[in-house]
Amino acid sequence: MDSAFDTIATAAPFDTAKLDRLMDEAGLDILIATSRHNVQHLLGGYRFFFFDVMEAIGTSRYLPVFVYQKGHPENSIYIGNRMEKFEHDLGRIWTPLVKTGSWGTIDAMALAIDHVRKLGATAKRVGIEASFLPADARDHLRAGLDHVELREAHFTLERLRAVKSPAELDLIREASERVVDAMLATFGSCAPGMTKHDVVAHLRREEQERDLVFEYCLIAAGKSHNRAPSNQRLAEGDVISIDSGGNYRGYIGDLSRMGILGEPDSELRELLQRVEDIQQEARRVIRPGVMGGDIIAAGEAAVKSSPHRAVLDFTAHGIGLVSHEAPRLTATGPVPYSPYDADRPLERGMVISIETALLHPARGYIKLEDTLIVTEAGWEAPGDHGRGWNTSRPMA
């Protein structure tokens, strides 16, 4: 066994006792994480800059691998690309053992297999992320560890991330604030004749200037409910819905705000207020100890009492390194999964996205989406500005 195993890992950036308990519940002896978001979490925020956007390289793809043995954080290993030696030299990787010797999927998995073999015969049940493990790497793992049982570990890792650390919450705050600031600057630049493509391009620049990685923008304009960027041109009086995800050091700022070319009339003010009322009703129930499904129930009750209930859409979901993650609040949202947290209490440090959209047949797509951090006193809403009608500013 490598002498590096004798080094005690005193700086694991996650709750090792919690991970050990979750692995016990899932019947896992070893965990092999291969998704970039979970590897980043297990490494305390480290993410290799070279592959921050792309994954393909040569004839294969980048595959970061983190191996953890239950009860033995001192045996943790990180397997990365050869160029990650530069990062390791700078002390950015905490694991007692680091192997920066891979270029693709097979050589990365070969190093993981070698490490698991050295852990001994007790490694019988190995957790993997099947959705984030390439087929060739999985086949290689099966052949190299034919004595072990492979089990799905997605749920285990998601539960580990469900409650965010203070450092993670700071990144979520920054992501949320910066995304909304970028939206407001973009609304201020909108003018008749611009296309939706133009607006999205401007938003991309605004997010990048705020040190965000632009991920997407869903944009609707005028009377249309179509939210894809297109060559549709803006006209005076058009409403504009911007729903964008900006990534700040791996964490998602995902919010939605409204703009208009001109001034909103009384009907538009009333419509956006109806959306705001539903958002606030959902917020009122958020605090530690409340069942996760109570958020959904509060929002749906507010929708049912609205005169616009036939054209309203409400949902809520967890958010963090992934735009839909724990807590899982509903089985009827846009992303399908079982509502594991619907009948479980919210915990301080969980992060929830709440969104309400009104698809008006004549006035267009009107939406607010907010990010809520569960706090001891209830909730905190980073990026909670620009919630009304944001008007464009004519050029001087």
The answer to whether position 74 is within a domain reads yes
Q: What per-residue confidence (pLDDT) applies to 110?
A: 98
Q: Same domain for 153 and 177?
A: no
Q: Same domain for 129 and 229?
A: no
Q: How far apart are CA 18 and CA 1, in angstroms?
A: 27
Among 126, 42, 39, 30, residue whose Cα is nearest residue 71: 30
- The residue segments making up the domain with residue 115 are 3-161
The answer to whether position 55 is within a domain reads yes
Residue 208 parent element (H or E): helix 196-209
pLDDT-derived band at 157 (thresholds 50, 70, 90) equals: very high
Q: Same domain for 112 and 180?
A: no
**What integer is the mean pLDDT of 195-216?**
98
The answer to whether position 199 is within a domain reads yes
Q: How far apart are CA 345 and CA 290, in angstroms?
A: 5
Q: Same domain for 87 and 182?
A: no
Q: Same domain for 271 and 286?
A: yes
Among 132, 115, 78, 68, residue whose Cα is nearest residue 100: 78
The answer to whether position 117 is within a domain reads yes
Indicate the average pLDDT of the chain.
Answer: 95
Q: What per-residue confidence (pLDDT) applies to 119?
A: 92
Q: Same domain for 349 and 202?
A: yes
**What integer is the mean pLDDT of 137-161?**
97
Peptide bond before residue 134 is cis, with ω within 30 degrees of 0: no
Least confident among 8-12, 99-103, 193-197:
8-12
Q: Is the pLDDT of residue 320 over 60?
A: yes
Contact 68, 19 (CB under 8 A): yes
Q: What per-residue confidence (pLDDT) applies to 121?
A: 75
The answer to whether position 396 is within a domain reads no
Q: Same domain for 143 and 179?
A: no
Q: How many domains does the chain have?
A: 2
Contact 66, 9 (CB under 8 A): no
Q: Same domain for 111 and 20?
A: yes
Q: Same domain for 363 and 287?
A: yes
Q: What per-residue confidence (pLDDT) applies to 195?
A: 98
Domain boundary among 128, 161, 194: 161
The answer to whether position 361 is within a domain reads yes
Domain boundary among 161, 195, 226: 161
pLDDT in tens, 223-268: 999 999 999 999 999 999 999 999 999 999 999 999 999 999 999 9
Among 181, 162, 156, 94, residue whose Cα is nearest residue 322: 162
Q: Which long-range contacts (CB under 8 A, 24 or more apart) does 296-299 make?
A: 296/329, 296/330, 296/342, 299/354, 299/356
CATH number at residue 37: 3.40.350.10
Q: Same domain for 184 and 328?
A: yes
Q: Is the pLDDT of residue 300 over 70?
A: yes
pLDDT in tens, 81-92: 999 999 999 999
Contact 241, 217 (CB under 8 A): no
Q: Is the pLDDT of residue 36 over 60?
A: yes
CATH number at residue 266: 3.90.230.10
pLDDT in tens, 326-351: 999 999 999 999 999 999 999 999 99
pLDDT in tens, 4-32: 333 333 579 999 999 999 999 999 999 99
Q: What per-residue confidence (pLDDT) applies to 393?
A: 65
In this structure, the strands spanning 389-391 and 251-260 are parallel
Contact 96, 76 (CB under 8 A): yes
pLDDT in tens, 348-377: 999 999 999 999 999 999 999 999 999 999
Q: What per-residue confidence (pLDDT) applies to 392?
A: 83
The answer to whether position 49 is within a domain reads yes
pLDDT-derived band at 295 (thresholds 50, 70, 90) equals: very high
**CA–CA distances in Å: residue 249 to residues 63, 223, 333, 381:** 19, 36, 27, 19
Q: Is the pLDDT of residue 64 over 70?
A: yes
Among 369, 142, 336, residue whose Cα is nearest residue 252: 369
Q: Same domain for 200 and 150?
A: no
Domain boundary among 144, 161, 178: 161
Residue 384 parent element (H or E): none
Contact 22, 156 (CB under 8 A): yes
Q: Same domain for 231 and 345?
A: yes
